Amino acid sequence: PVERVDTPGVGTIASLAAFLGVEERQTVKAVFYAADGEPVFVAIRGDLEVNETKLRNLLKAVELEPMDDAAVARHGLVAGSASPVGLEGMRVVADTSATEAVNLVGGANEPDAHLLNLNYGRDWTATLVDDIALAEGGHRCLSCEGTLDVRAGMELGHVFKLGSTYAEALDVRYLDGEGERHHAVMGCYGIGVDRLLAAVLEANHDEDGIIWPATLAPFDVHVVVLGGDKPEVEAALGELEAALEAAGLEALVDDRDESPGAKFKDADLLGMPVRLTVSPRALGQGGIEVQVRASGEREVVPLGEVVGRIRERGS
Q: Quick: pLDDT tens for 222-270.
A: 999 999 999 999 999 999 999 999 999 999 999 999 999 999 999 999 9
Q: Domain of 270?
A: 221-313
Q: What is the pLDDT of residue 192?
A: 87
314 pLDDT tier (thresholds 50, 70, 90):
low
d(CA 85, CA 94): 12
Both 241 and 307 in one domain: the answer is yes
- The CATH code of the domain that includes 78 is 3.90.960.10
Q: What share of the chain in percent tops pLDDT 70? A: 99
In a domain, 185, yes or no: yes
The answer to whether residue 1 scores a pLDDT higher than 60 is: yes
Predicted pLDDT at 225 = 97
Task: Quickly list H helices, 40-175.
Answer: 52-59, 69-74, 96-100, 165-170
139: in domain: no
Q: What is the average per-residue pLDDT within 90-104?
A: 96
Do both 269 and 164 map to the same domain?
A: no
How many domains are there within the chain?
3
What's the CATH code of the domain at 285? Answer: 3.40.50.800
Kindly tell me if the per-residue pLDDT of 20 is higher than 90: yes
Q: How would you write 238-260 as a 3-class SS string?
A: HHHHHHHHHCCCCEEEECCCCCH
Q: Distance between CA atoms of 82 and 85, rounded to whole angstroms?
A: 9
Whether 179 shows a pLDDT value over 60: the answer reads: yes
Q: How far apart are CA 249 and CA 243, in angstroms?
A: 9
151 lies in some domain: no
Q: In this model, does residue 112 exceed pLDDT 70?
A: yes
**Residue 143 lies inside a defined structural domain of this protein:** no
Confidence of residue 145 (pLDDT cuts 50, 70, 90): confident
72 shares its domain with 167: no
Question: pLDDT tens digits, residue range 181-221?
Answer: 999 999 999 998 888 999 999 999 999 999 999 999 999 99
Q: What is the pLDDT of residue 315?
A: 53
- The answer to whether 278 touches 226, Cβ cutoff 8 Å, is yes
Q: Is the pLDDT of residue 9 over 90?
A: yes
In a domain, 205, yes or no: no
The verdict on 172 and 249 lying in the same domain is: no
| Average pLDDT of every residue of the chain | 94
pLDDT digits (tens, 9 = 90+) for 30-62: 999 999 999 999 999 999 999 999 999 999 999
